[in-house]
């Protein structure tokens, strides 16, 4: 679509969100709202994407860093027509179609926008608008037509009469304009006497007065054009978009046992034959391989799981790499930069941080492994911790293949345990352990025979007197 440029309006504050963050930066299924509009245009392959920024402009620029977009500033908020007018210099000489959409339009589909562009070309219009019929048009501009059904003008709700407010056909704020006619018309738009702003829908009145052809397309699904101005509308949009994501995944062979109780961002990919239990939350750039099982109430963010991974109840995995056949949980926590090789296991109430577990390595329960590298088939006993922080810096623990670490062991980093070594339970290890060695790091046990009875007598003598029962 090299004959199409897109203008995304992202300059408003969104005061009805009651937030210190501008509306277009509020997250929706893993991405800021403005990402949904920008990514739609990029998928369509438009020639250029211009984003009009105003309130919190630097934050919006930062949120879109890395995407091939251009920024145009609207220094003073004077309405949507004024916002589009700021792109005149950037689009000077452009003879193609200019697609204008809001930065808070996450539910628009590629198919609907393509249909709008095709309709615009076929109609040879100076402007083509997407409209919709909704049961409750409150908050939207109304479409006014003449007796022949031709578009006459669009009236904003704040300026509409009681009769006009009863109209059910609304303006969706998605437009396609013929580039050469756009900016002269924008300059002819008059300031609203009610709001004091220059409204983009008023360009229709300008075109009609010039007897130019303005065309409309009725949205096939009105839910696509739902506006987002409040937190409640944001939640409604999330529910609708989440339903689409779930439908797409199930059609691709993923089992969602209770879709309504499952929360998956639209940035997540899942392979076929994976089973997802209720309460699972999958966020960000997460990829799940085929044949995995994700049990209830686990949360996985920006992580990669290979095929056949099992994540048991209540586990949290963040920015980690999990190879095929691994088992995690229940109630395990994999913090960033954790890497599990094939068939490794991290079990009940274990925490792993910035560590590599070799193939078949096991950390079955109640352990902390941080800043460590574990070789293949290492077994870590319950209660073991890597003491990786000395109060000033982090240090690394290296445990080579086939090491057995007994329960309640403290491995004080920096330290290396050689291949095949055995660490006795209850040890504190502070020095290198050679391969195939057995290491003890305990204080000697002291036993005082007969002391138990004497100790009980002393405790009874020290106990406070009991209160009278009466």
Instruction: Catalogue the active-site residues.
Output: 365
- Please give the radius of gyration of the chain, using alpha carbons only, rounded to the nearest integer: 32
Residue whose pair of structure tokens reads 């509308």 in the numeric block: 233
| C-beta atoms surrounding 388 within 10 Å | 23
Residues with Cβ within 8 Å of residue 380, at least 6 apart in sequence: 361, 362, 363, 364, 367, 369, 374, 405
Q: Cβ(27)–Cβ(242) under 8 Å?
A: no
Q: What does the CA dihedral 412, 414, 418, 421 come to, rounded to 10 degrees?
A: 0
The 8-class DSSP code of residue 324 comes to T
Note the Cα 315 to chain centre separation in Å.
19
Among 95, 64, 85, 84, CA closest to 2: 95
Q: Which two tokens stand for residue 217?
A: 């397309």
SS3 content of the chain, % helix, strand, coil (to 5): 25, 30, 50
Note the Cα 416 to chain centre separation in Å.
39
Q: Which two tokens stand for residue 419?
A: 């291949």
Task: Tell me phi and psi for residue 58, to 5 degrees.
Answer: -65, -35
Q: Cβ(396)–Cβ(412) under 8 Å?
A: no
Can you say whether residue 393 is alpha, beta or left, with left for phi > 0 and alpha for psi between -120 and 50 degrees?
Answer: beta
Residues with Cβ within 8 Å of residue 434, at least 6 apart in sequence: 418, 421
Residue count of the chain: 470
Handedness of CA 420, 424, 428, 430 (dihedral sign): negative
């Amino acid at each position: 679509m090299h004959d199409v440029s897109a203008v995304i309006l992202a300059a408003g504050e969104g005061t009805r969100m009651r937030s210190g963050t501008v509306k277009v930066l509020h997250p929706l299924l893993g991405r800021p709202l403005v990402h949904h509009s920008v990514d739609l245009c990029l998928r369509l392959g438009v020639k250029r994407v211009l984003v009009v920024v105003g309130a919190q402009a630097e934050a919006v620029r930062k949120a879109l860093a890395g995407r091939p977009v251009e920024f145009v500033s609207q220094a003073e908020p004077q309405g949507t027509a004024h916002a589009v007018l700021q792109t005149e210099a950037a689009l000077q000489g452009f003879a193609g179609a200019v697609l204008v959409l809001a930065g808070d339009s996450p539910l628009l589909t590629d198919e609907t926008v393509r249909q709008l562009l095709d309709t615009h070309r076929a109609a040879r219009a100076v402007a083509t608008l997407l409209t919709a019929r909704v049961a409750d048009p409150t908050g939207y501009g109304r479409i006014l037509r003449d007796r022949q059904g031709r578009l006459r003008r669009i009236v904003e709700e704040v300026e509409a009469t009681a009769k006009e407010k009863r109209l059910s056909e609304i303006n969706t704020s998605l437009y396609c304009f013929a580039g050469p006619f756009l900016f002269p018309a924008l300059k002819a738009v008059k300031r609203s006497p009610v709001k004091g702003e220059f409204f983009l829908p008023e360009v229709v009145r300008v075109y009609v007065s010039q007897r130019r052809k303005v065309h409309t397309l009725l949205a096939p699904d009105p839910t696509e054009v739902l506006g987002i101005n409040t937190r409640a509308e944001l939640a409604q949009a999330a529910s609708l978009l989440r339903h689409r994501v779930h439908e797409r995944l199930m059609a691709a062979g993923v089992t969602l046992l209770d879709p309504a109780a499952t929360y998956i961002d639209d940035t997540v990919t899942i392979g076929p034959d994976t089973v997802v239990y209720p309460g699972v939350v999958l966020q960000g750039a997460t990829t799940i391989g085929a044949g995995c099982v994700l049990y209830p109430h686990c949360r996985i963010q920006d992580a990669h799981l290979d095929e056949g991974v099992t994540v048991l109840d209540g586990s949290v995995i963040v920015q980690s790499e999990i190879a095929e056949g691994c088992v995690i949980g229940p109630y395990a926590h994999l913090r960033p930069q954790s890497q599990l090789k094939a068939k490794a296991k991290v079990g009940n109430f274990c925490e792993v941080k910035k560590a590599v577990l070799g193939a078949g390595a096991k950390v079955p329960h109640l352990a902390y492994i941080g800043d460590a590298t574990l070789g293949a088939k290492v077994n870590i006993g319950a209660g073991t911790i890597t003491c990786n922080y000395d109060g000033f810096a982090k240090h690394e623990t290296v445990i080579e293949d086939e090491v057995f670490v007994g329960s309640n062991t403290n491995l004080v980093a920096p330290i290396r345990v050689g291949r095949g070594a055995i660490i006795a339970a209850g040890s504190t290890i502070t020095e290198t352990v050679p391969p195939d060695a057995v290491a003890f790091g305990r204080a000697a046990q002291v036993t005082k025979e007969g002391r138990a009875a004497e100790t009980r007598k002393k405790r009874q003598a020290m106990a406070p007197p009991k209160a009278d029962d009466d």
